[in-house]
Each structure stands twice: as structure tokens, then as C-alpha cells.
Amino acid sequence: MSLHKGKLYWPETIEAPSKHRSLESDQTCDVLIIGGGMAAALCAEELSHTRFKTIVVEKGEVAKGSSAANTGLLQFSNDKMLHEFIKDLGEEKAVRFYKSCLEAVDELQQVAGTLAGETGFIRRPSLYYASTEEDVNKLKKEYEALHEHGFEVEYLDSEKIKERFGFEKPAAIMTHGDAEVNPNQLIHRLFESAETRGITVYENAEVQEAGRDGEAYIFTSGDHSIRAERVIYCTGYETIPYRVKDLADLNRSYAIATSPVADFPEWTYRALIWETKRPYFYMRTTEDGRIIAGGLDEEKMDADVTDEKLERNGDRLIKRIKEHFPDYEIQAEYKWCATFGESEDGLPFIGPHPEKEGIYYCLGFGGNGTVYSKLGAKLLCEMFHEEHDQELAELLDPGR
């Protein structure tokens, strides 16, 4: 299955991607992390502060999976609104989950601040607007739920939206506490940092489970084996465990990065912008003055589309940007399409395998994959120390 197709933007922002070693001998570790994307990088960084001897194996090169297609919005608000979660899960669980996501954005900022080199992490508010008049009530409910539970949120009527952004929409909420990042830079910096604290990252090392030796798992890669007490699958949308398969949908999504714009005078705080319609359109700016926009999701999982289709959807996304900001002279310089995984209940899959002790998953399915992966890295690390939040663990349990 191809995870993405087209011309990606982030890989071109990395001047010297870090290279990692090849697996040339048998290894033993406390924790084996499988995967070399955002989830693996965040787990590696988290574990690098513990006593666990940790090895990361990536079958290709790091940061080349779906993380390379990630548009880099870091939002605590979910594709599913807080008031909808409250309806499904009850108030306590829903609020706990939303607060954990907000904390994860704060923690991403803290980690980014410790890394040597650029990550493109910048705090931004989010503008979440009603796509139609019918959605205004939904946004009002969301404003009330967020406000009641202490999230920093403003309700904007159409006049205020026009004043701050220049375009017309029936209503919006502006949430504070979100951020943007360059996902590829973040992954490279996280692995480099983890390596300075003794984590080893192997590239071109595809592994398969090959049995057990007492309590430990044996994985093989080519002629070599890795013996691990615990294993975390950070394999994204490619290697999905059986139970998760029943609870997840794989779709494909499109994104573009435009030519640079000189200035964004009417785009207040260069907020992350998204909407209530499903599938939704969203956009953000980049440090070098481009606009990244995405959406047009389709219920097909393989990202292998024709060049004509990529071209056509690139044009459609430019048109959507211009509906908001008609004065920008922009072209789509980068256009890509990628597989995108979502869970049916809006929650990621983080925690132990339902039957195999010692096997764990950190699968941040959903539009907030990075935030979920950070939340997952911390939760798993706390599980290994037996000091985790039991209720959060039950909520995100892959065997739920």
C-alpha cells in the first residue's frame, strides 16, 4: 500500500536529514519501538529519559511514512467536538481526554524547546467556523462546553469574523492553546536528541515477530534478531493489529503548499483555520510564508492516484483558499495525497495488546495524530512505571 503520492513539502525543508545505522548484529533491549515516524520519535524521546534500554527499527528511512504528509496542525480540539464526546462518553471521561490533549500540546512545546535545531513549533490559536447556518447551534454548544470546562475559547459572530479575517462565515469559535509544527524537522530532532541519551535507531530494518524466549519477544530482521522485553508498535496505518482494524477507517486525503505570500495582514495571528463541514477543509501558514491547505477526503485507502487527479484537487484547494482570501496570488507548488486513518469513536489506540503481555500500540489515528502520539508516548512510559492514569488508559485501550 502506498502511504502517499505527489510532491511533499516538508522533506524539502530538511537540509541535512539525520542518517541512522543499519542493523549488523543481534541485539537485546528492554523496549523495541517499531516504526520511524512521529509516534516512534515521541516514544523514543520519552523513553530516553528512563532506565529502559530502547531500540528503534524503521523498515525504510525515518520520517518517510505518513508523517511526511502530515500538515502539522497541533490542536487539542478533536474532529469530534467536546460536547459530542460528552454525549458519548459522559462528562468526566470526555473532559479528561480533551484536557490530556491540551496538556500534550503544552508538552510538545516543552520538548521542542529542549531540542537542538529548528522544529517550526509556534503557538497559534484555531478558528473553527460554521460552514453553514445550520451548524451555528453546534458551535454555540461547543463554545459552552469548552467554556464551562475551563478551555480558553471565544465566540465570534459573523461581524467579528469579518473584522479579524476579512471573510464572511455565519459564526466561529476561536480556541487558544494550539500550535503548528514542521513534522519532519520535529521527528529528526527528536531522534537525534534521543540518540544523545543512548537510544539506538536502525534504518532499513524491517522486523517480524519470530516467537518468544521466556518472557521476551524475538523479532528478526534479515539475518539478525532483536530480543525485547517490551515492544511498542508505532507502525501507523500500514501494520494494523486485528482488533484495531475493526474499529478504524482508512481514507485518503489531499493537501497542498502554495507559493509564498508576501504578508498575511487580514489573517489574525495566522490562526489555524478549519470548519464544521465533513470532510472538512483546513489551512495554516508556514514560516516561509506559504499556505498549507488540506481536505477533500475520500473513502479510499490507497494514496496511489493519477497525476491528473492530484492536479485537479490541487486546483480545488487553491479555489477554497481564494474563497477566504481572494487577493492572494498563489499557485500550488506542492500537491500530495495520503492515506489517513481515523477511529470510529474518535479516540486513538494506545496501550497493551489485549492478549499478548508486553506488546503495546501507539497508534494516533485521527486528525490530531501528533498530539495523540505525544499523549500515547507519555501514557505508555507511565504504564511501564506502573504510575499511569487508569481511566485514560481504559478509554484509549486498543482492545476496547
Ligand X SMILES: Cc1cc2nc3c(=O)[nH]c(=O)nc-3n(C[C@H](O)[C@H](O)[C@H](O)COP(=O)(O)OP(=O)(O)OC[C@H]3O[C@@H](n4cnc5c(N)ncnc54)[C@H](O)[C@@H]3O)c2cc1C
Q: Which residues bind ligand X (CB under 6 A)?
A: 3, 34-40, 57-60, 64-67, 69-73, 206-207, 234-236, 238-239, 253, 255, 294, 338, 340, 364, 367-371
Least Å distance between CB 217 and ligand X? 13
Least Å distance between CB 297 and ligand X? 9
Least Å distance between CB 56 and ligand X? 9
Least Å distance between CB 318 and ligand X? 16
- CA pair distance 246, 262, nearest whole angstrom: 47
- CA pair distance 250, 10, nearest whole angstrom: 23
Residue nearest to ligand X (CB): 369
Nearer to ligand X, 177 or 294 (CB): 294
Least Å distance between CB 388 and ligand X? 20
Q: How many CA atoms lie within 13 A of 247 on its CB side?
A: 18
Nearer to ligand X, 307 or 327 (CB): 307
Q: Which amino acid is at 386?
A: E
Nearer to ligand X, 158 or 251 (CB): 251
- Taking residue 117's Cβ as centre, other Cβ atoms within 10 Å add up to 13
Nearer to ligand X, 136 or 369 (CB): 369
Least Å distance between CB 66 and ligand X? 4
Nearer to ligand X, 42 or 145 (CB): 42
Least Å distance between CB 184 and ligand X? 10
Least Å distance between CB 162 and ligand X? 26
Nearer to ligand X, 293 or 330 (CB): 293
Pairing state of beta strands 171-180 and 73-74?
antiparallel
**Residue given cell 496542525 in the structure block:** 73
Nearer to ligand X, 137 or 210 (CB): 210
Least Å distance between CB 206 and ligand X? 4
CB 226 within 8 A of CB 57: yes
- CA pair distance 320, 293, nearest whole angstrom: 9
Nearer to ligand X, 313 or 368 (CB): 368
Three cell numbers, residue 254 = 489531499
- CA pair distance 93, 362, nearest whole angstrom: 20
84: left (phi over 0), alpha (psi -120 to 50) or beta: alpha
Nearer to ligand X, 34 or 171 (CB): 34
